[in-house]
Amino acid sequence: MRIQTFTAGEKILSQGEEGDSAFQILEGEVEIKVGEGKKEKSLGTLCEGEIFGEMSLIDPGPRSATVVAKTDTKCAVTSFDEFTGALHDDPERAAEFMKTLVRRLRHMNEKMMSMDPKRRGLFGLIREWQDTADLEELDQESLAYWSFRYL
């Protein structure tokens, strides 16, 4: 683990870049954003004690969001290798990262379920169809309705 500082306005992570580390905010605030240009949206602000980049500790890969320091910020940075070592050496710290990941997943699931089905994308439409259709008794008229409505 290392300590890293960022100045207000500095980009810490960029959506789409490869990542293999997570950050725990020791001081300051960061803003989480997704999208680019006119499609960019702020997902919120994180402050002291909160963690971001935690998905890379479970599955290193492309970052799912951009993170920008809102204020001068100091973070403890943990790499994938350090995290996997901590599973044995410091399981409580490793558990905190995993709890953060699970909390965010639950939050995202709640948001998805509250969205209008027309805006949930293909996965939401399929789930709605599965929930309302009796697949054994699906007739051609019902199939045509669902196909026309959503495809």
Domains of the chain plus CATH, in order, are 2-114 (2.60.120.10), 116-151 (no CATH)
With pLDDT > 90 as the criterion, what percentage of the chain qualifies? 29
Q: Per the structure block, which two tokens stand in for 76?
A: 């403890």
Q: Retrieve residue 7's tokens.
A: 């100045």
Its sign, for the CA torsion 131, 132, 134, 138, is: negative
CA trace torsion 120, 126, 130, 134 (10° rounding): 130
What pTM did the predictor assign?
0.65
Burial of 69 (0-12, 13-18, 19+ CB in 10 A): buried
Contact 82, 1 (CB under 8 A): yes
Q: What is the pLDDT of residues 81-121, one digit of tens each?
A: 888 887 788 778 777 777 877 777 777 667 666 666 555 55
**Residue for token pair 């890379």:** 56
- Please indicate whether residue 78 or residue 98 has the higher confidence score (pLDDT): 78
Angle between helix 91-114 and 80-89 (nearest 10): 120
